[in-house]
Chains A and B, each alone.
Chain A
Amino acid sequence: MKIKSQNLFIVNNLPVNIDINIESGINILIGENGVGKSTFFNFIKNNHESLLKQKSAAFMDQFPFTPINEVRMIDVIDFLDRGIGYFSKSTALELISVFDLSYLLKRSISLYSGGENQALKFILLLSQNVDYYFLDEPLQYIDKSRLELIKTYLSQIGADKKVVIIEHRDELLLDLNPRKIQMVVKDKEVIINGI
């Protein structure tokens, strides 16, 4: 799917011009720290119905869950299952078992470690059946044992869906044959285009 626009939004007081083609498979968004990659994702979140032409999308952001109550993984899965049509509770429970996280089901999310939080976010993402998947730094805090599992699932969803990932350690995903999208500052504007 092609996205082409001048002055799409502003980041760091610079206009962002975009000319990309998001194809099925793994697409990695690369760029220097602070160029606005996460801001771009947030822009897509706020405008995905128009930008993605009514296609559905799921997002995984880089920040951990910080609930103010004692909500547990099982509670989150239950209320997402009730509230979102494209979320599958059975898929979520199956993934929890595959990732060996069953012990976390009834533990308060506020007590999770960084890696457990990240794994939960990834499971919630995979449990949504959508056309586009956007992941912001999905591999942070992930240990080696789960890294290969995550790569396997990314490869599976990339087979027929469009996946866009921000990942500084993109060398970890090279074996998934990703397409690269770069975001650079050039001549007082930010350009997003495919490499």
Chain B
Amino acid sequence: MEFDIFRILVAFLSGYFLTLSGSLAQIVTNNKLASSSTLGFDGIGVVMILIAQFCISFLGFKFPIEYLSFALFLIFFAAFSLLIKNKFKIEKSIDFNQGMQKIILIGIGFNLLVGGIFSVIQFLFIAINYEFPTGIWFGNFKYFDQMNANLFTICFIIIFTLMSSMSKKLSYLSLGNDFARGLGIDVSKLVTSALLLSLFLTGLVISFFGVFSFIGLIFPHILRRISIFKYSMRNELMIGPLFAGVILSGIDFLCFNFDFYGAEIPVGMVCSVIGSFVLLFLLVQKTSSK
């Protein structure tokens, strides 16, 4: 069997980032169905890729699509962060839960809209024989390189260090916004930071390797079936994503070494299919046990 250490590394770190993104989304919204998909973050990542492809195909930009889409995403992220900081408070005291329900519905709607637009644009590009990034809809690590492995590693070091201090406050937040506020935590700032971090992690992975549907939703649920994560939100945030990264890199290793009639099966597709079954199984089992 073959392996490439950089590919294993980026797969591991992508699993880490996406799982952490999902856990953060679920904690701050206090909603087990929250994830980068349901909050619309996947859609934002895909829009940046579409804009990047447009720039390359029609405006003559000469950049690799993944770096151009990441650059566009960073510009969007910076602008969005400033907007949130200066104009809006994501969290208000009493009606926070109702506000979050609306955000989730808008996020789901936005993702569906982007999916529809993606299909239309894909059709148009193919019809006029322009190159189109068809591979992004099922994430894969075929196009890794050392540069993006280095970038991911730097991001991992920063984020792991950040989570060392944030995870304790997020543990309190997981019991309720009012409870956390009562312990002196600036809930508004914490929620904003966590959601922005979740957005960043999602955009980072999608820009380089495409969409991995359900990982951010399913992996936190799987982690919570294991005792060391079930009772400790801090463990879920600090150790859980590492565990998920190992799983994703393991699945990708298998996809790389066992092809289908010469074609590598996208690991994102495998995760979507298996993950959906696993989630259904877990939910049905939990409902039955109650």
Contacts and interface: CB of A to CB of B under 8 A. Distances in A.
Interface of A: 38-39, 42, 45-46, 48-49, 58-72, 75-76, 79, 83-84, 109, 121, 134
B182 A65 contact: no
Nearest to B235: A69
Contact of A39 (B94, B184, B231): B94
Nearest to A56: B184
Shortest beta-carbon contacts, A-B, top 5: A59-B182, A61-B178, A42-B93, A45-B181, A70-B230
A137 to B, nearest CB: 12
A150 to B, nearest CB: 18
B66 interface: no
A49 B179 CA distance: 17
A8 B30 CA distance: 30
Contact of A72 (B26, B171, B231): B231
Interface residues of B, number: 28
B31 A39 contact: no
B174 A42 contact: no
Interface in B158-183: 168, 171-172, 174-176, 178-179, 181-183
A46 B91 CA distance: 13
Given A69-B236, A71-B232, A75-B231, A61 B93 contact: no
B84 to A, nearest CB: 18
B233 interface: yes
Contact of B176 (A39, A58, A61, A84): A61
A29 to B, nearest CB: 16
Contacts of B232: 69, 71, 75, 79
Contacts of B26: 68
B27 interface: yes
Interface string B133-177: 000000000000000000000000000000000001001101110
Contacts of B233: 67, 69, 71
B94 A42 contact: yes
Contact of A59 (B31, B171, B178): B178
B174 A61 contact: no
Given A38-B94, A42-B94, A71-B233, A66 B178 contact: no
B175 A45 contact: no
Contacts of A71: 174-175, 231-233
B77 to A, nearest CB: 26
B182 A70 contact: no
Given A42-B181, A75-B231, A79-B171, A68 B176 contact: no
A68 B183 contact: no
B288 to A, nearest CB: 15
Given A42-B94, A61-B176, A68 B181 contact: no
A63 B30 CA distance: 13
A72 B175 CA distance: 11
A65 B183 contact: no
Contacts of B181: 42, 45-46, 59
A58 B181 CA distance: 10
Given A71-B231, A83-B172, 17 more contacts: A42-B94, A42-B178, A42-B181, A61-B179, A65-B175, A66-B30, A67-B175, A68-B26, A68-B174, A69-B174, A69-B224, A69-B231, A69-B236, A70-B231, A72-B231, A79-B232, A83-B168
B188 to A, nearest CB: 8
A68 B182 contact: no
B241 to A, nearest CB: 15
B227 to A, nearest CB: 9
B285 to A, nearest CB: 14
A38 B178 CA distance: 10
A134 B186 CA distance: 18
